[in-house]
Chain A
Amino acid sequence: MGIILVHPEAASRLNYLKLPMRDRASTDAIEKSFERLAQGIDHCVLRLVEKRRLGVSVRLDVPEPVLNDHVSGCMLTVVEDGGAGYAATGDLSEGGLELALKDARDRAKLTASHRLFDAARLPIPADRARVDNRSAGGLPGVTDCLAMTSDASRRIKAAATNAKAMDKIADWSAAIEVAECHSLLLSSAGARIEQSYGYVSPGLSVVARDHGQSQQRSHGDGHMARQGGLEQLDVVDFAEHGERLVGEALALLRAPECPTENTDVLLMPGQMILQLHESVGHPLELDRILGDERNYAGGSFVTPEMIGSYQYGAECLNVVFDPRVPNELASYAYDDDGTRAERHDLIKDGILVGAIGSASSSLRAGIPAAASGRASSWNRPPIDRMANINLLPGDHDLGALLASVERGVLMDTNRSWSIDHLRNKFQFGCEIGWLIEDGERKGLIRNPGYRGVSANFWRSLDRVGDRSTEAVLGTLDCGKGEPNQLMQVGHSTPACVFRNVQVFGGG
């Protein structure tokens, strides 16, 4: 089969917009243009990105305007005289590529005069591969999404009506975002890496309000994105949670505040995703460790010398960088630098053993790369990013986790996140919590939050849940970089118990 970045069948299944995408002929033309333009340049890379995104939501039973987004453009990167420069353009004609190449060469020349490192040492991608991770079942189209979100919305309304509490439900919504993404990487060393995948991101949200108190419950809502298609909406039970959310939001209005004390916490995957993301994933990014992010996203309390010996957490803590998990959001075969992606241990038996770095950061730090050079789109350069950062399950089911807690708090569904610039002092808040007494889940509590220090917190990890407690989650909106970029990252994690944590409530 030829070079087609959007499969015609998939395009028709999306049934919302059939823009003139890169067909075989136009993709061939881009490749030929690149071949001509890159002649005589040792290190030149073209990265073409196309993405179509559909977002359907129903709020208060009324469909919102449909999000219908098409992205198409490319970035050219050149390394000359030890300097690297890039230029991004939406003009994919030969003239457009020629102008971009000139811009990239000018900036490579500028960088060479004031370079942070010798880019001539960077590896140039040379692999040839075609990877298609799209769902065989296809992505839902506009009418499918409208039907599913309308159904979910009606169920929420029915639950509120049955509870005779419509006057206390201030807002609700049901939403689905789906996308199909394609990239093509070409290099002057002969690389041709073509990758395709789709994702779905469902979300339900209910807000109850009474006597000056608002309480929200959600399911998905930005943290449950997965690669794949229609079948993944079944996996996450998209429409089945409305009644539960209504009941919990109403109950939270009357629930007591989370107590303020030092106690044990049992964190469910809906909160563990943020804990793992903020205080393991980000601190292990090599560009932070190397200082690139000190002006914006921050540095890290981790130093290169710690890798191999630092006791990051308890012995039951095992974390991997794994971009090859089917259906997890940040799965890929090659990163946007063209580095082949493989699973790496990050924390093994509590000891820090690896970091998350692209080829360039690896070169600078002298630490093996993890194929984590990723860009949010054609208009941003690759930077060090998490892919799927997964906490490996242990051997305790939920009953055993609860039974291990004499007094504590169970928390679920992140709603607030904040951490210092070195990824140490954090504070998180959750939508819902329950007291745990004598190994049993007791009464509901509202506004549960906790704070701690990463360097100590993971050492207080005492129990890791088994696969029955695990969830595969993912977020579309991890912000970082200058210029800024939003990135998709995946996290799978079981429920976990931590000892002696500072918890608090609202007010």
Chain B
Amino acid sequence: MSRYSAVVERECFYTLADRAAAQAESGEVALLNLRGECSDFIRYNRTRIRQAGRVRQARLRLTLVRDRRQASATFDLSGDESADRLRLESVLGELRQLCKMLPEDPYLHFATAVNSTDRTEPTSLPRAGEATAQIVTAFDGLDMTGVWACGESCSGFANSMGQKNWHAVGSFNFDCSVHDGTQSVKHSLAGQNFDADALNATAAQARQTLSILSRPPKRLDPGRYRAYLAPEAMGDILGLLSWGGFGLKSHRSGRSPLMRLVDGDVHLDPRVFVDEDVASGFAPAFTGEGFVRPQRVPLIEGGRFASCLVDARSAQEFGHSVNASAEAPQSLDMAPGALADEDVLRALDTGIYVSNVWYLNFSDRNACRITGMTRFACLWVEGGVPQGPIEPMRFDDTLYGLLGERLLELSRNRPLSLDPDTYEGRSFSSARLPGALVEGLRLAL
């Protein structure tokens, strides 16, 4: 057994799929979606372990299609092949009954052309004990809090027509912050191959930033300020925009915060290009209905609306092609600008270096106006020199302005960010975004 052995291996999943196919009656189609992981979660507070655990889980969504109806059930697998097969057969029978209770589904849509794929990536991940020893040593003497998440994650699709897709990646994600009184700085180290030198460099960088944060904080009045939104802050901003901003259904239902952009009433700066970059991301390239996603979907081109993310159901409802498994980006890519890292502070001159933002929401979706807080090592800069931290401030501004007429420059550097979210399981999402130098960021409180 490997260090992070999956609960359900690829061949076991395919065996289950074959069983479902054999059990399917004439005119029936079975679709299987698997999501599994074996993950270590080590939670830290004050550079000591607060909670440590391991989670082995595998969930299967089985969908039965018959008579233009579909019925699904999602359930936990045990990893025991015989027990899981029995459960699958039992669920299949129940779904057959459930189908009889349901009306025909006009938007039923699944792939009928067989298109099998396999992406299994080699990784080098440390054991929990090794990781802990290195983390505790690297951050010795610092007040560090955060979480180490590490292990193998897999996603599989199969249908009774013979299609089989597999996606397995191992990764670690060390998401932490270092605190000194009321000040703090956030760091993230994530990838598929753990590097102790990178961990030590992260801790060293945190120590360096803390020396600036130890200076007296500056209290800003509400008003407009020149600001540099670091890539991490841009990640949160684009993350909020992804909440209904890029999906076809949200456009057609009038719920999208980008309706004015879609309608052509406003446009962003012509340097703004945003794509869903499936090819460079970590998310599965197949959808839950068996469609294989295009390598790249342009969302905003030259500051203008380009296209939407369209899942299988919306594709059927609105007469489009499927290009997404869900109508929110999973592998967001925003084109770089010309601003080099070493020139950021000089270009900012006097204003706010916004390292991170927090708890974003829309204050007016119609105007794509968003609000949120500054958090973690946001600095006041004068003449290109950091003066010290700012007290947390609330901003309330429209993205049509920040990425439109008030966008001054985008950074050249675009670090790859792996999503640390672990709500249902460890996220496959990632983003590659530049920082943004903007004029007149509006602080409200």
Contacts and interface: CB of A to CB of B under 8 A. Distances in A.
Interface of A: 15-20, 62-63, 65-73, 75, 83-93, 95-96, 99-100, 103-104, 106-108, 110-111, 113-116, 142-143, 146, 170-171, 207-209, 212-214, 216, 290-292, 294-296, 298, 379-381, 416-422, 425, 427, 429, 447, 449, 451-453, 479, 482-486, 502, 505-507
B105 A63 contact: yes
Contacts of B48: 114-116
A20 B86 CA distance: 9
A507 B87 contact: no
A418 B392 contact: no
A19 B392 CA distance: 50
Given A69-B75, A84-B52, 9 more contacts: A15-B101, A70-B76, A86-B51, A170-B254, A170-B255, A214-B254, A295-B175, A381-B51, A483-B149
A421 B391 CA distance: 12
Given A63-B102, A214-B366, A295-B147, A17 B73 contact: yes
With a 10 A CB-CB cut-off, give which of B95, B105, B252, B359 has the most chain A CB atoms.
Answer: B359
B271 to A, nearest CB: 25
B342 interface: no
B102 A91 contact: no
B218 interface: no
A65 B70 contact: yes
A158 to B, nearest CB: 19
A471 B245 CA distance: 33
Contact of B57 (A90, A115, A419, A447): A90
A18 B132 contact: no
Contact of A212 (B7, B265, B444): B265
Contacts of B52: 83-86, 107-108, 110-111
A506 B367 contact: yes
A7 to B, nearest CB: 18
A422 to B, nearest CB: 8
The 6 residue pairs across chains A and B that have the minimum distance between CB atoms: A171-B253, A170-B254, A506-B364, A209-B254, A86-B53, A482-B147
B45 A88 contact: no
B370 to A, nearest CB: 9
Contact of A483 (B41, B91, B101, B129): B41
Contacts of A67: 72
Interface residues of B, number: 91
With a 10 A CB-CB cut-off, give which of A15, A90, A216, A484 has the most chain B CB atoms.
Answer: A90
A315 B373 CA distance: 30
Contact of B98 (A66, A83, A96, A486): A66
Nearest to A102: B54
Nearest to B398: A507
Nearest to A210: B254
Interface stretch (B77-85, B206-214, B330-338): B77-85
B43 interface: yes
Contacts of B369: 506-507
A104 B55 CA distance: 10
Nearest to A451: B445
Interface in B24-44: 39-43
B373 A207 contact: no
Interface in B351-379: 358-367, 369, 371-373, 375
Given A110-B128, A295-B186, A484 B50 contact: no
Nearest to A257: B364
With a 10 A CB-CB cut-off, give which of A62, A427, A502 has the most chain B CB atoms.
Answer: A427
Interface stretch (B112-120, B176-184, B297-305): B176-184
A68 B43 contact: no
Given A292-B50, A486-B423, A427 B444 contact: yes
Nearest to A109: B129
Contacts of A75: 53
B45 A291 contact: yes
Given A88-B54, A107-B52, A212-B265, A418 B359 contact: yes
Contact of A91 (B51, B80, B255): B80
Nearest to B365: A214
Contacts of A507: 364, 367, 369
B146 interface: yes
A88 B58 CA distance: 11
Nearest to B444: A451
A91 B83 CA distance: 10
Given A63-B103, A91-B56, A216 B255 contact: yes
A115 B53 contact: no
Contact of A17 (B76, B94, B132): B94
Contacts of A68: 71-74, 98
Contacts of A71: 75-76
B245 to A, nearest CB: 13
A96 to B, nearest CB: 6
Nearest to A293: B145
B46 interface: yes
A425 B73 contact: no
A116 B49 contact: yes
A373 B78 CA distance: 26
B253 A170 contact: yes
Contacts of A416: 361-363, 371
Contact of B71 (A66, A91, A294, A295): A66
B132 A110 contact: yes
Contacts of B19: none
B148 to A, nearest CB: 9
Interface in B133-150: 136, 145-147, 149
A489 to B, nearest CB: 16
A425 B98 contact: no
B72 A66 contact: yes
B105 A114 contact: no
Contacts of B176: 295
B57 A379 contact: yes
A83 B53 CA distance: 12
B255 A214 contact: yes
Contacts of B319: none
A416 B369 CA distance: 11
Contacts of A452: 445
Nearest to B422: A483
B186 A19 contact: no
A256 to B, nearest CB: 14
B259 interface: yes
B373 A420 contact: yes
A62 B366 CA distance: 27
B55 A88 contact: yes
28 contacts: A17-B98, A18-B94, A62-B106, A66-B98, A68-B74, A68-B98, A69-B74, A91-B78, A91-B79, A91-B80, A92-B78, A93-B83, A111-B49, A116-B45, A171-B254, A209-B254, A212-B260, A291-B45, A295-B145, A295-B175, A380-B55, A421-B375, A427-B363, A427-B394, A427-B445, A482-B146, A482-B147, A485-B423
B405 interface: no
Contact of B90 (A20, A419, A453, A483): A20
Contacts of B80: 91, 93, 95-96
B132 A114 contact: yes
Contacts of B105: 62-63, 65
Nearest to B186: A295
B421 interface: yes
A67 B72 CA distance: 7
Contacts of A216: 255
A278 B103 CA distance: 41
Contact of A114 (B49, B90, B175): B49
Nearest to B184: A294
Given A68-B98, A110-B49, A420 B392 contact: yes
